[in-house]
């Protein structure tokens, strides 16, 4: 493929982008799970080398997925819940340790988070290679979209971006290794199971990753608070890389210069900025809206 001519970016000093079918068993039919002694519980040191996922929906998605489960903490009530009983037994048969404990113990394990009576430890999240992400994205659709997070440090924002991206059918996410949140238990909780279906790549150099996307045929759109073309008047089609800036500084100057286009969400109120995950959702919806309009013609 011949190199595409790229428009020269004007001198630009980016501002803050966007602010900070089995029949369920009855209780009597379910196999009895033997409670574990306290001596058998995983040590705090062991926990630190694993990912901890908690809450009904995130754990349910993990139980249904392909990740290796190490240990499940579950209350007696949740162990016989029809949503979990068979899946817990399957996990046990695959080698997971099942701990029937009280809610207080799960609160200790999850640092008193809202665990809803169940938590699971799994091996640390495995990021995919950039080359694999690109090839998978292009194989899925003729118009793939990959999100690029430029220094998102808040794990709640990162988790929300992942959840929105997966829900709207995007192909994946790229994050930098330094000065940015990685995939941890908070991200997994906020993502609410989306990570089981949404690949994430972690790279050393974001500019090099953008260059690699461009070589693969992606057009890169950077989001800025001002100085960009309005989002709704920008044609967002083909292979798209959407860059979202950090909560406090927005796009870095080097990343902004690497973008093919800069776009802005029109703001008419007095609030000067949007949360990064909210801005991402608006941009992704506009991509979906334009796609629906094209398909309706």
Same domain, 233 and 289: yes
Same domain, 147 and 289: yes
Q: In this predicted structure, what is the pLDDT of residue 193? A: 84
- Pick the last residue of a domain from 104, 122, 140: 122
Cβ atoms of 53 and 118 within 8 Å: the answer is no
Same domain, 134 and 115: no
Does this model's pTM top 0.85? My answer is: no
What residues of the chain score a pLDDT lower than 70?
A: 1-49
Q: In this predicted structure, what is the pLDDT of residue 228? A: 73
Same domain, 134 and 105: no
Residue 6 included in any domain: no
Q: In this predicted structure, what is the pLDDT of residue 20? A: 47
Convert the pLDDT of each residue in 277-286 to its tens digit.
999 999 999 9
Q: Is 98 exposed, middle or buried (0-12, 13-18, 19+ CB in 10 A)?
A: buried
Same domain, 109 and 197: no
> Domain containing 172 — which CATH number?
3.40.1280.10
Residue 257 included in any domain: yes
Same domain, 99 and 145: no
Q: In this predicted structure, what is the pLDDT of residue 232? A: 92
Residue 211 included in any domain: yes
Same domain, 146 and 209: yes
Number of independent structural domains in the chain: 2
- Pick the last residue of a domain from 122, 156, 178: 122
Same domain, 112 and 137: no
Q: In this predicted structure, what is the pLDDT of residue 273? A: 81
Same domain, 141 and 243: yes
Range of the domain at 158: 130-296
Residue 24 included in any domain: no
Within the chain, where are the H helices? 44-48, 56-64, 76-79, 85-93, 103-109, 130-140, 155-167, 185-191, 206-215, 253-258, 276-296
Residue 184 included in any domain: yes
Same domain, 110 and 141: no
133: helix, coil or strand?
helix
> Domain containing 84 — which CATH number?
3.30.1330.30
Same domain, 115 and 162: no
Pick the closest to residue 54 from 183, 187, 198 (CA basis).
187
Query: Which two three-digit tokens encode residue 292?
Result: 């629906």
Same domain, 180 and 77: no
Question: Residue 282 CB: number of other CB atoms within 10 A?
Answer: 15
Name residues whose C-beta falls within 8 Å of residue 113's C-beta, 6 or more positions apart in sequence. Answer: 54, 55, 107, 189
How high is the mean pLDDT of the chain? 85
């Amino acid at each position: 493929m011949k190199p595409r001519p790229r428009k020269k970016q004007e001198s630009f000093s980016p501002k803050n982008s966007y602010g900070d079918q089995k029949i369920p068993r009855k209780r009597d039919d379910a196999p009895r799970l033997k409670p574990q002694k306290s001596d058998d519980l995983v040590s705090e040191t062991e926990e630190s080398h694993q990912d901890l996922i908690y809450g009904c929906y995130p754990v349910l998605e993990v139980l249904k997925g392909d990740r290796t489960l190490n240990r499940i903490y579950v209350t007696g009530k949740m162990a016989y819940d029809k949503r979990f009983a068979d899946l817990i037994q399957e996990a046990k048969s695959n080698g997971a340790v099942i701990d029937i404990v009280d809610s207080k113990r799960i609160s200790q394990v999850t640092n008193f988070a809202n665990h809803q009576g169940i938590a699971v430890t799994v091996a640390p999240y495995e990021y995919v290679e950039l080359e694999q992400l690109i090839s998978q994205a292009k194989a899925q659709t003729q118009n793939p979209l990959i999100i690029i997070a430029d220094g998102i440090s808040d794990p709640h924002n990162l988790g929300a971006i992942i959840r929105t991206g997966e829900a709207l059918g995007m192909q994946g996410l790229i994050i930098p290794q330094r000065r940015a949140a990685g995939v941890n238990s908070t991200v997994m909780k906020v993502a609410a199971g989306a990570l089981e279906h949404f690949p994430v790549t972690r790279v050393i150099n974001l500019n090099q990753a953008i260059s690699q996307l461009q070589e693969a045929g992606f057009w890169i759109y950077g989001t800025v608070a001002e100085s960009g073309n309005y989002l709704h008047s920008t044609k967002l089609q083909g292979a798209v890389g959407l860059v979202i800036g950090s909560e406090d500084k927005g796009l870095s100057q080097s990343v902004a210069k690497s973008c093919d286009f800069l776009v802005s969400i029109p703001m008419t109120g007095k609030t000067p900025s949007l949360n990064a995950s909210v801005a991402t959702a608006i941009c992704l919806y506009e991509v979906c809206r334009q796609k629906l309009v094209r398909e309706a013609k």
